[in-house]
Amino acid sequence: MQFLYDKNAGDERLLVQNEPFLHLKARRVKTGDRLEVRNLKDGKKYLYEIKQIERKSADLELVFASLNERESYDFSVAWAVVDPKTIEKTLPFLNELGVGKLIFVYTKFSQGDFRLDLERFGRICALSCEQCGRDSLMEFEIYKSVDEFLANYNNVAMINFDGESLENYKNELLFIGAEGGFSSDEVAKIKRSFGLKSKNILKSQTAITAIASKFLA
């Protein structure tokens, strides 16, 4: 763990409980130890001293704060809504690679009864940040349809099996489909498409991880 995440980092005192406290116990910290805490919003590193450890909580006191030189995470990608369990398993990889914004879009091949818990997604990314050292949380957006999505973004290109080479990519917002890809109506609405070099059909989560890896790794 590179640091501890707490949305209230910066306060004079922090009370660490629940899952974050279990992480501290796993590190076998003791009273008087110091640890870095971040809120993943203001770019600062906060150093806290552990003043007291109880059975289910730890009391931390702020020692000092330092400004961290923040990295820029400006790569955005759109992803047709798939099973939330699949998304949750994929998020840490996208977070580590440096995706700045993940845009979810309900498409024809998305199952409409899937409901996305963005708060839970944020917690998953926060845990990933603790491990990889990333200093800001990934942003999320949700659009109820392709039409609504395209009303907000006009420079969109889909990832399709027979699309043109990504060597011709010019900062389009890449859009990865659900299992089964895109419907003919959706293909007609998005004029440009790119393809990956894989000779095999990729799962949706494999395709989005491959795209992020190509541009960020």
pLDDT tens string 11-46: 999 999 999 999 898 889 999 999 999 999 998 999
Q: Which of 156, 121, 172, 124 is nearest to 142 (CA)?
A: 121
Mean pLDDT of 128-138: 95
At 169 the pLDDT is 95
* Strand 4-5 relative to strand 34-38, pairing: parallel
Mean pLDDT of 211-215: 97
Distance CA 59, CA 29 (A): 12
What are the φ/ψ torsions at residue 115 (nearest 5 degrees)?
-115, 130
Distance CA 201, CA 59 (A): 51
Q: Is the dihedral of CA 96, 85, 56, 13 positive or negative?
A: positive
For the beta sheet containing 57-67, the strands, ordered from the edge strand earlier in sequence to the opposite edge, are 4-5, 34-38, 44-53, 57-67, 13-17
Contacting residues for 93 by C-beta, under 8 A, at least 6 apart: 209, 212
- Half-sphere CA count of 142, side-chain side, radius 13 A: 13
Q: Give one DSSP letter per residue of 114-178, joined into a string.
A: ----HHHHHHHHHHHHHHH---SPPEEEEESSHHHHHHH--SEEEEEEEEEEGGG--S-EEEE-B
For the beta sheet containing 75-80, the strands, ordered from the edge strand earlier in sequence to the opposite edge, are 139-143, 99-105, 75-80, 173-176, 156-165, 192-195
**Does the structure show a pLDDT above 90 at 193?**
yes
Q: What does DSSP assign to residue 55?
A: S
At 38 the pLDDT is 96
pLDDT tens string 84-124: 999 999 999 999 999 999 999 999 999 778 999 999 999 99
pLDDT tens string 150-183: 999 999 999 998 889 999 999 999 999 998 899 9
Q: Give one DSSP letter per residue of 177-204, joined into a string.
A: -BTTB--HHHHHH--EEEE-S-SSPPPH
Domains of the chain: residue spans and CATH: 4-67 (2.40.240.20), 76-216 (3.40.1280.10)
Q: Residue 9 is encoded by which pair of tokens?
A: 């980092």
Q: What does DSSP assign to residue 40?
A: S
pTM score, whole prediction: 0.91
